[in-house]
Structure 1
């Protein structure tokens, strides 16, 4: 096994979820091709510079692009979550946060101005700010720092706007009969998620939450007197566990292809983040 390649344990977890071709020419070894994808994402190198031991780079790229459009890695991530949940090993104290990623100039050359399609958003999740082109990763992780759901948006998208869509992406399937597990026991988030809408949404679903109140919200409530209502409950001891999601981002950003976005399309970048998330789960089992 070379550096930045799958261990036997990781491959045993991932292999059952890789689609196989029933007909056609004999294709390149699946493990060899997946190792090429992991090496590319881990190092951030261009596809054309992949080492020869992974076979033709066109084969690795074509397979990766096919898996990205069909959501193979995200589906595999959900299946591994289902296996861990069946063993009652998921901590449903969920933390959510986001992280901004700089987009390389190669990611901006999409050649798709004014074009829309069913599988790719028009803006390709690229936002322009004072720092240039950026993408934002919104992440929900369990209490052990393993990704449960992710959402890719342009870098200028506010966290509070994406909080509800992010939580609705948590869907851990059951290995047996039953609906997927979608509801956390408790949610921890920082002040960016303290707008009235998101806590109200959590209360409606019966989800406990620990979210600090912004200073301007406190002043506004005090100025209203009795009509301002009571301050929201806040448990400092529980909030101290919010650093778990920060550590999850740190581990994801060990992959240089995620720390800087080189992928032109949102589907490819999401597939890269999903594959890295899948490896985090595989290494924790």
Structure 2
């Protein structure tokens, strides 16, 4: 086992949630060797063609990662490894976003919808804008994340770098924490923390409608505008400074994710492939927890 490869314990937890065979056309190559190749590229950020030969043909490794990013396999694996999360008791969620610089090689993807599995079907997480934004610093992509109280990713959303945070609170809708005992997956936390960027009347109304307690500070301009409107401005938003200190958990989760160079800097042209790269980094954090 090389440095960074899956350990026997991690592989035993991961193996049962992977596809069994490819169906028509032949059988998969060794899943463990291919995934170790994907993890090696994710950790180092090198081009796919420069993968060491011990992982097999680079094209096989890349095609496996692209295929599983397109058909949602990585998302299903992430939900499977989260199955024991609700056993630990109450789960508090935090939401935040981070900017990652996109390499110049990440630009230039064709505008046509890429095929999936040889058929003309829209890939999961495909975006027409490929989640690339332009700023004064160059090409950027923003990762929106919901994490639990143990700094483990729950759901990921990829958008262009210049997009705002408040409208992307919908990342919470992507959370599906399976219940080991059976029943519907958990989609609603006990509590949500977020910074001032998520403070809006629409977001607070959405959280109240779902009966979710939240700790989101109110920006000064919103506070002044509410007081100016008098009784029509509504009541002041509740805020618990002690609970808000736990928001560092999502920042620590970002720090762990960006330990992978292919996450800290985007090299993938397609948005759905980069989404798969971030999701695989989240899976690795769950396997190590």
Work out whether the TM-score is over 0.5.
yes
Give deviations 1:134-184, integer Å, cap 9, x for gaps.
111100001111111111111111110111x21111111234442111001
What residue number does 1:138 align with? 144
Structure 2 counterparts to residues 1-285 of structure 1, below 5 A: 1-21=1-21, 24-25=25-26, 27-85=28-86, 88-89=87-88, 91-112=90-111, 115-116=112-113, 118-119=122-123, 120-163=126-169, 165-284=170-289
Q: Which runs of 5+ in 1 are unaligned?
A: none
Structure 1: distance between partners of 2:129 and 2:74: 23
Cα deviation for residue 111 of structure 1 reads 2.7
CA deviations over 1:179-237 (Å, ceiling 9, x no partner): 11100100000000001100110001100000000010111122233443332110000
Contact 1:94–1:184 (8 Å) recurs in 2: yes
TM-score normalized with structure 1 length: 0.93
Question: Does the 8 Å contact 2:145/2:155 carry over to 1?
Answer: yes
Q: Which has the higher mean CA deviation after the structures are superposed, 194-203 or 222-231?
A: 222-231
Paired residues of 2:127 and 2:272 also in contact (CA < 8 A) = no
Structure-2 separation of matches of 1:279 and 1:28 = 21
CA distance in 2, matches of 1:89, 1:129: 42
Contact 1:17–1:72 (Cα < 8 Å) also in 2 = no
Residues 84/209 of structure 1: CA separation in 2 closer, same or farther (3 Å cut)? closer
Checking the alignment, whether the CA contact within 8 Å between 2:127 and 2:271 is kept in structure 1 is yes
Relative to structure 1, the CA distance from residue 83 to residue 229 in structure 2 (aligned partners, 3 Å threshold; closer, same or farther) is closer
Please list the CA deviations of residues 86-140 of structure 1 after superposition, one character each: whole Å capped at 9, or x if unmatched. Answer: xx1264210000001111111102132xx34622221111111222111111000
Q: In 2, Cα distance between the equivalents of 1:95 and 1:26? A: 41
1:27 shift after superposition: 4.1
Say whether the 8 Å CA contact 2:82–2:177 is kept in structure 1. yes
Scaled by the length of structure 2, the TM-score of the pair is 0.92
3-state secondary structure, aligned to 1:4: coil
Structure 1 residue 71, shift from structure 2 partner: 1.3
Tell me the matched-pair count: 279
Question: CA 1:70/1:229 → structure 2, altered by over 3 Å: closer, same or farther?
Answer: closer
RMSD: 1.5
Deviations 1:243-268 (CA, angstroms, capped at 9, x unpaired):
00000000000000000000011111
Between the aligned partners of 1:83 and 1:233, the Cα distance in structure 2 is 32
Runs of 5+ unmatched residues, structure 2: 115-121
